[in-house]
Chains A and B, each alone.
Chain A
Amino acid sequence: GEDVEQSLFLSVREGDSSVINCTYTDSSSTYLYWYKQEPGAGLQLLTYIFSNMDMKQDQRLTVLLNKKDKHLSLRIADTQTGDSAIYFCAESCGSARQLTFGSGTQLTVLP
């Protein structure tokens, strides 16, 4: 079955760049997503990339996709304390484009 893996924790200094990595297994995934979850809150869609793209940039966010290695990354430039949250990678596949999520990466931004 599908499996999405992420490292559990990442700490960065305010102003530095953050890179969150994700690997997935289903090569038929059509879209790959990054969601942000703040404590006690729901999921906020940050960005997504179609499987035929290599890179997508959206303001401070850059998504890189390496289909050969099934590796996805999210780079946050100029990381701020408000970026502290859990970040989930998810792949979309199946007839209803169901999502399979990674376990999430807790990003801590230190002042």
Chain B
Amino acid sequence: NAGVTQTPKFRVLKTGQSMTLLCAQDMNHEYMYWYRQDPGMGLRLIHYSVGEGTTAKGEVPDGYNVSRLKKQNFLLGLESAAPSQTSVYFCASMGTGWRETQYFGPGTRLLVL
């Protein structure tokens, strides 16, 4: 099992450009999440999904969109990147059992100039 993988690992964008971050999991998990981590801060939830075809807003959703067309994939889109979106983005997934925990991907470093 690869667990949770993220593509790309690192990206540099210019202000106004768009991009999509891909998260994939091979554990058949229902729940998937996107977080961002800024210096000196913990992770903050951007969007999440409780199953294929569903999405919901987290704490900091503005400027991002998500899609969960396939159960194993959760895409995070930036339509018009801003320097404030420079961050490290982490994806996570989790099963629905009551003892389940979130498994995190390795992160994507995004720099918006």
Query: A residues engaging B (CB < 8 A)?
Result: 1, 4, 8, 31, 33, 41-43, 45, 48, 88, 90, 95-104
Contacts and interface: CB of A to CB of B under 8 A. Distances in A.
A31 B99 CA distance: 9
Interface residues of B, number: 26
Contacts of A95: 50
A98 B90 contact: no
Instruction: Determine chain A's interface SS by DSSP, over half rule.
Output: strand
Given A88-B42, A90-B43, 12 more contacts: A8-B40, A41-B107, A48-B101, A95-B50, A96-B33, A96-B48, A97-B100, A99-B33, A99-B45, A101-B35, A103-B41, A103-B42
Interface of B: 31, 33, 35, 40-45, 48-50, 56, 58-59, 90, 92, 94, 100-107
B106 A104 contact: no
Contacts of A33: 101
Contacts of B35: 99, 101
Contacts of A1: 59
A35 to B, nearest CB: 8
Contacts of B44: 101
Contact of B45 (A4, A41, A98): A98
B57 to A, nearest CB: 11
Nearest to B94: A97
With most chain A CB atoms within 10 A of its CB, the pick from B40, B42, B50 is B42
B29 to A, nearest CB: 11
